[in-house]
Amino acid sequence: GGGGGWGGGGGDGTLPFPVYTVQGRSWGMDCLEAVGRNFFRGQRGVVFTIWDLSRLGWLPEQADRLGLNLWGYHPIDGEGPRGTLLPAHTETARKYKRIAAYTNFAARLLKRSEAVANERCPIRVLSHGVEPAVFYDRRPERSGCIPLLREDEVLVGCVATNQRRKDYGALFESWAILRDRAERPWRFWVHTDRMANPDGWELFGLAVAFGLRPGVDLHFTIGLPDEELAGLYSMCEVVVDPAAEGWGFPQAESVMCGTSSIGVRYAAGTEVAWETVAPVALRWEDCVLRPVLDSVQLADAVQKMVSKPPAREALRIWALEKFSWDRVWPEWVKWFEEGLG
């Protein structure tokens, strides 16, 4: 909505036009015409998508038929042949009137692919904001989702959604390596969304294969509210993203809570995470290159971060300067106003 962001965002301003939020997978092909009739009623309007280009190929034709302009904010976390977008995704992007990119990586791919047909509307890199009034160091609060930690235990987290099983495999193997080194008692936490849930992706069995014990030293959560997530981030010593997921929200959110983050030195991870691990290889997955991590290197990075943690207040200051809605929201308002002008 217009009160300073989406997905629970805050901010310090409102958009200078009415906003109708329609969310969910079925709204597109089934409901867009009804949205046009009921909301726009023949007036000029904008369909603003916060989605992957690979899922939007059907949209330009319908928006054009309704006389609506397409504006987009695209997560891009992998590159295709020759370091560009895939041809079908490029064609979809060219039908957008305005595009904002979440990272410089995404902007470079869009430009290299010549994906912007409207030269008067250059790609703008705009960060997604994190709400500092929600994501802050909540210690000594504790979450009921994880049994109380002993004073000598270390909690390491991972908030993951679209990761492949190979990425979870690298993550679980790195955690097994940490456990076997036995320098400190370790506890691990994985949060996923309702689509990539532990049952559907057989994560329990994968974890057990590496000797982890769900419910004992490994804890899963699904679909928590932001306040609960912030509490869990604050309990962690470090939060890991093993797959360079396109948006990179967990890295920004955890650092806002004063907890260091480790990401992959590829795509959004390079620009969002506090610390990164270089992939040992890139491999083709669904026609784009995705990173492959070495589990030992990932375990070493976690151990180093736990052994010599940065000051929590320094982490939060860094995150506030990069991701606070108070900082990024005026840039968003300007972008919308330029488009309307």
Give the helix/strand (H/E) hosting 274.
Answer: none
Inter-residue contact 328 to 335 (CB < 8 Å):
no
pTM: 0.85
Q: Find all residues with CB under 8 Å of 306, minimum gap 6, and list them.
A: 154, 156, 184, 237, 238
Half-sphere exposure of 223 (CA within 13 A, CB side): 5
Give the helix/strand (H/E) hosting 114.
Answer: none
Give the whole-angstrom CA distance, residue 231 versus residue 9: 17
What dihedral do alpha carbons 205, 206, 208, 213 form, nearest 10°? -100
| Preceding amide of 140 cis, omega within 30 | yes
**Helices and strands in the chain, H and E counts:** 12, 12
Inter-residue contact 274 to 280 (CB < 8 Å):
no
Neighbouring C-beta atoms of residue 208, cutoff 10 Å: 13
Which one, of 216, 207, 143, 196, lies nearest residue 173 by Cα?
207
From first to last of its 341 residues, the chain has per-residue pLDDT tens of 222 333 333 333 456 666 666 554 455 556 677 777 777 777 778 888 887 888 888 888 888 888 888 999 987 888 887 888 888 899 999 999 899 998 888 898 898 888 876 666 678 899 888 999 999 999 887 778 888 888 889 999 998 766 788 899 999 999 999 999 977 899 999 998 655 556 666 888 889 999 999 889 999 998 888 899 999 999 999 999 888 765 668 888 999 999 999 999 988 788 888 899 999 998 888 788 889 999 999 999 999 999 999 999 999 999 999 999 999 999 999 998 888 87
Structural tokens at position 175: 């955690």
Measuring CA to CA, how many Å separate 176 from each of 154, 207, 210, 340? 14, 9, 6, 53
Specify the 3-state DSSP secondary structure of 30: helix
